[in-house]
Amino acid sequence: MAGPADTDISGLIARAEEFIRLCCSENAVDRPPADRMAEIRHEIRQSGSYVHTARELAFGARVAWRNSSRCIGRLYWPSLVVRDLRHVRTAEGIHRECVEHLRLAYNGGRIRPVISVFAADGPDGAGPRIHNPQLIRYAGYRGPGGRITGDPATTDLTDRVRALGWPGGPGTRFDVLPLLVHTPTEPPRLFDLPPDAVREVPLRHPDHDWFAELGLRWYALPVISDMVLEIGGIRYGAAPFNGWYMGTEIGARNLVDQQRYDLLPEIADRMALDRSTDRTLWKDRALVELNVAVLWSFQQSGVTITDHHTESERFLRHLRREEKAGRTVPADWSWIVPPVSGGVTPVFHRYYDDHESSPAFLPPPATGRCPVTGHAPATGGVRNGPDPQPPVSVGANTGDSRDRIARP
């Protein structure tokens, strides 16, 4: 009778075989598939794991984005820049490469999709972890009477880094958190991000001068950093990836959700809107103007961003392209439809096939927090077999609110 170890080895071999068949079907192999699988089987039986080639890693990372059912921005999945950093194992080295990731991906404002893949988990335990949900994220300071200054979604992380020695920032609503990095051979370590790597966009409005007086801003580059990249049964727990923002992620979620910055009442009052009843649609009117401000500000700053109408059209192009290639597109309707004006976007008026796929981006192991990022709690620990798709967004939905994966 097979024991647990035999079952794990058989399961890993099966997942590896499935992945190599996929590589072969899409011409992403370095050598004959039979030879490669014989090599993988031998490696797994000897060590309990196996090592992807650079080509397999790059292909797997791109397909993981392609398989992200909650991402509207997958049209550009083949363009993902894959940085193979599996040799970098120290916390200091991971921090250094994360800073380089931010600079490379920002690209002078012309955001490019990038993923940096560090060492994989192994049979002896987990590999390195970045505990921040994104490389750049604002602090949430708890105050008297339950008052929070900053982002309420990061209060637990803020408490944790302060307990580890971070003195805190100036105490504004937009203080950037340090990175919290943990490796198998080191305790958790904190690293500040250099100012030149943290690009931010001041938010203004093309028609309302008072908008600038609100003092709002948001970071230009959303890099999800706590999700697990799974390729052929191998898991990479530190694999930060980015795309670019879709405006509604900032203007309809991060700055608007009541459990985030909750700015609609403040903006509505500046617009002199009647908030005595919802029938005045004051929320809708304030929401539209906030989204106008976000898109206009990014455009004026020369930073890539997309709107939800354009991205919906691009998603349908992605569907047509994938169907032409003979592939089904996993898609979660509740995440693909934008949070603003959903009914007037073409993605609203159709059904989608939502199924689990591999390679994939998986939720982080249970850490007591909740990617994207914000709202949804992590779903349990690492386990064998496919995990549920995370509520994330990457790229044209990178998911500050863990909130949806649209371009990594």
Let me know if residue 36 belongs to a domain: no
pLDDT tens, residue by residue, 47-76: 999 999 999 999 999 999 999 999 999 999
Task: Give the span between the Cα atoms of 191 and 394, in whole angstroms.
Answer: 24
Q: What is the pTM of this model?
A: 0.89
The whole-number pLDDT of residue 364 equals: 87
Q: Taking 80 as the threshold, does the pLDDT of residue 319 lie above it? A: yes
Q: What percent of the chain has pLDDT over 70?
A: 88
Let me know if residue 386 belongs to a domain: no
pLDDT tens, residue by residue, 23-35: 999 999 888 999 9
Average pLDDT over residues 96-120: 99
The whole-number pLDDT of residue 385 equals: 31
Q: State how far Cα 68 lies from the chain centre.
A: 11
pLDDT tens, residue by residue, 118-138: 999 999 899 999 999 999 999
Task: Give the span between the Cα atoms of 124 and 26, in whole angstroms.
Answer: 32
The number of folded domains in the chain is 1
Q: Say which residues have a Cβ less than 8 Å from residue 289's Cβ, sequence separation at least 6.
A: 205, 208, 211, 267, 271
Q: What percent of the chain has pLDDT over 90?
A: 84
Helices (H), 26-90: 33-47, 54-66
Task: Give the span between the Cα atoms of 60 and 62, in whole angstroms.
Answer: 5
170 HSE (CA, 13 A, CB side): 4
The whole-number pLDDT of residue 25 equals: 95
Question: Which of these, 262, 258, 329, lies nearest to 290 by C-alpha position?
Answer: 262
Q: Taking 80 as the threshold, does the pLDDT of residue 401 lie above it? A: no
382 HSE (CA, 13 A, CB side): 18
- Residue 43: other Cβ atoms inside 10 A: 14
Report the amino acid identity of residue 316.
Answer: L
The whole-number pLDDT of residue 117 equals: 99
Asked if omega into 128 is within 30° of 0 (cis), the reply is no
Tokens of 133: 């949900």
Let me know if residue 406 belongs to a domain: no
Let me know if residue 312 belongs to a domain: yes
pLDDT band at 203 (very low <50, low <70, confident <90, very high): very high
Strand partners, 217: 202
The whole-number pLDDT of residue 315 equals: 96
Q: State how far Cα 232 lies from the chain centre.
A: 20
Q: State how far Cα 314 lies from the chain centre.
A: 19
The whole-number pLDDT of residue 30 equals: 86
CB 147 within 8 A of CB 158: no
- Residue whose pair of structure tokens reads 């990175």 in the numeric block: 179
The whole-number pLDDT of residue 197 equals: 98
Q: Return the active site residues.
A: 71, 74, 244, 249
Let me know if residue 401 belongs to a domain: no
CB 130 within 8 A of CB 238: yes
Q: State how far Cα 355 lies from the chain centre.
A: 20
CB 151 within 8 A of CB 136: no
CB 393 within 8 A of CB 369: no
Helices and strands counted in the chain (H then E): 10, 16
What is the pairing mode between strands 114-117 and 81-84? parallel
The whole-number pLDDT of residue 365 equals: 76
Report the amino acid identity of residue 232.
Answer: G
pLDDT band at 397 (very low <50, low <70, confident <90, very high): very low
Let me know if residue 164 belongs to a domain: yes
Q: Taking 50 as the threshold, does the pLDDT of residue 106 lie above it? A: yes
Task: Give the span between the Cα atoms of 38 and 387, in whole angstroms.
Answer: 27
Q: What is the mean pLDDT of the chain?
A: 90
Let me know if residue 257 belongs to a domain: yes
24 is in an annotated binding site: no
Tokens of 113: 């999709």
Average pLDDT over residues 79-97: 98
Q: Say which residues have a Cβ less than 8 Å from residue 276's Cβ, sequence separation at least 6.
A: none
The whole-number pLDDT of residue 379 equals: 28
The whole-number pLDDT of residue 146 equals: 92
Tokens of 30: 């370095």
The whole-number pLDDT of residue 36 equals: 97
Helices (H), 198-329: 247-248, 264-270, 282-300, 308-324
pLDDT tens, residue by residue, 336-389: 999 999 999 999 998 898 888 999 999 987 643 333 233 333 222 222 233 333
More confident residue, 190 or 30: 190
The whole-number pLDDT of residue 398 equals: 45
Average pLDDT over residues 131-148: 97
- Residue whose pair of structure tokens reads 């609203």 in the numeric block: 348
| Residue-by-residue DSSP string for 340-397 | SSGGGSGGGGS--B----SSEEEPPPP-S------SSPP--S--SSPPPPPS---STT
| Residue-by-residue DSSP string for 171-198 | S-TTPBPPEEEEETTEEEEEEPPPGGG-
Q: Identify the domain containing residue 104 by its residue range.
A: 51-352
Name the packing angle between helices 4-25 and 33-47 (round to 10°).
160
CB 74 within 8 A of CB 319: no
The whole-number pLDDT of residue 354 equals: 85
The whole-number pLDDT of residue 353 equals: 85
Let me know if residue 282 belongs to a domain: yes
